[in-house]
């Protein structure tokens, strides 16, 4: 499973660095799609499923905080995975609809991959993957989403550091109601 992650990132690196302008690069339409959040989460599940992790769950809702402890066995992984799966841009229908940039950060010894939506209507607005320079192991994933309706706006900020933190922050604005802000963090113990 870990090897699939490394292989996937390596393939993406080759696809994004060949025969392209140095700053904004697009893979060929007939090749693989962009980074797959679904595949990455599935790989993480395959690697860590069944491990006896404890997590601290912190819920921030409209300025109030509630903290509890939960076992990995008792978590509602399906709902959490669905939130991340909805941000996936790996389908070939998204090719050319995101600007792609990669850059190395010598201070943190990481290679970073950044996708930003070119079109207003795309749900996933930004996706940043930070990977170790040497092992190519994903260190973190950050995602921003937005959905704008006539009467409301909804946005999310998702953040994942393997075996450290899972964070889902949601904002909802409605013309006829109060603004809602929810942040749920799971910190691995």
Check residue 3 and give its pLDDT: 40
pLDDT tens readout for residues 56-87: 999 999 889 999 999 999 999 999 999 999 99
- Which structural domain range is residue 124 located in? 2-188
Could you tell me which of 105, 149, 147, 142 has the C-alpha nearest to residue 127?
A: 142
Check residue 179 and give its pLDDT: 87
Q: What angle do CA 91, 97, 102 make, to 5 degrees?
A: 90
Average pLDDT across the chain, whole number? 85
pLDDT tens readout for residues 32-44: 579 999 999 999 9
Count of domains in the chain?
1
pTM for this structure? 0.79
pLDDT tens readout for residues 111-170: 999 999 999 999 999 999 999 999 999 999 999 999 998 889 999 999 999 999 999 999
Report whether 189 contacts 55 (CB < 8 A).
yes
Convert 97-117 into a string of H (helix), E (strand) and C (coil): CEEEEEEEECCCCEEEEEEEE
């Amino acid at each position: 499973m870990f090897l699939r992650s490394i292989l996937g990132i390596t393939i993406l690196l080759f696809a994004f660095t060949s025969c392209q302008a140095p700053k904004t690069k697009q893979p060929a339409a007939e090749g693989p799609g962009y980074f797959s959040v679904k595949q990455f989460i599935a790989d993480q599940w395959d690697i860590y499923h069944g491990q006896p992790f404890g997590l601290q769950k912190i819920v921030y809702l409209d300025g109030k905080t509630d903290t509890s402890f939960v076992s990995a066995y008792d978590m509602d992984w399906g709902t959490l995975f669905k939130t991340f799966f909805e941000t996936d841009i790996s389908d070939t229908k998204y090719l050319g609809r995101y600007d792609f940039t990669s850059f190395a950060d010598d201070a943190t010894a990481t290679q970073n991959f950044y996708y930003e939506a070119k079109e207003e209507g795309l749900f996933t607005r930004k996706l940043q993957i930070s990977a170790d320079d040497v092992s190519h192991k994903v260190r973190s994933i950050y995602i921003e989403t937005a959905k704008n309706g006539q009467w409301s706006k909804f946005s999310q900020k998702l953040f994942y550091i393997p075996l450290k933190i899972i964070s889902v922050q949601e904002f909802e604005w409605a013309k006829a109601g109060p603004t809602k802000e929810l942040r749920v963090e799971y910190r691995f113990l």
